[in-house]
Amino acid sequence: MTSAYIISKLPYAPPFLFVDEILEINAQGVTGLYKFPEDSFFYSGHFKDNPVTPGVLLIECMAQIGVVSLGVFLISSENYENVESDRKIGLSSTEIDFFKPVFPGESVKVVSTKEYFRFNKLKCKVEMFDTEENLICRGKIAGMISREPAL
């Protein structure tokens, strides 16, 4: 399963797609990359004279790579029917600790390890690193997969 295939199945589009590439993926986890564009709209208002990537968007990037991309892989691997048309993926919980900021134009690497996937719930340990492998943030993110329409 290719990086392009997985990204094409994600329920996001620019400017809210925070996945550039999936480097590695298997049933136990995923590693992916994203570069926060310098001209992203949110930088103009998130600390006027010192723009910083909002923490909620760091969590979103971690969730898109570390949980949703892995969920797409796991669902596709289990041969579920109509993956793209009738499956809904929603965040159910997060617990994230932050250690350093991400500035405009910076690239990040997200590494996720599956803790469990059962009863339609996927929970992962997720870490984000900068290009020098410094830890930016880490924690746990869980999401639910359902056939029901999104609310």
Is 111 assigned a catalytic role?
A: no
Q: What's the CATH number for 3-7+18-146?
A: 3.10.129.10
Does residue 64 have a pLDDT over 90? yes
Report CA 60 to chain centroid distance, whole Å: 6
Residue 15: asked if its preceding bond is cis (omega within 30°), the reply is: yes
What are 29-60's pLDDT values in tens digits? 999 999 999 999 999 888 888 999 999 999 99
Measured CA distances, 73 to 25, 66, 115, 125 (Å): 8, 11, 15, 17
Q: Which of 11, 17, 33, 46 is catalytic?
A: 46
> What is the predicted pLDDT for the residue at 78?
66
Percent pLDDT > 70 in the chain is 89
For the segment 50-73, the average pLDDT, to the nearest whole number, is: 96
pLDDT, position 87: 62
Annotated domain spans of the chain: 3-7+18-146
Could you tell me the strand order of the sheet in which 88-98 lies? Answer: 21-26, 29-35, 107-118, 121-129, 135-146, 88-98
Which of the residue ranges 25-34, 65-74, 75-84, 118-127 would you say has the lowest mean pLDDT?
A: 75-84
CA distance 141 to 125: 7
As a whole number of angstroms, the distance between CA 104 and CA 115 comes to 32
Q: Is the pTM of this model over 0.75?
A: yes
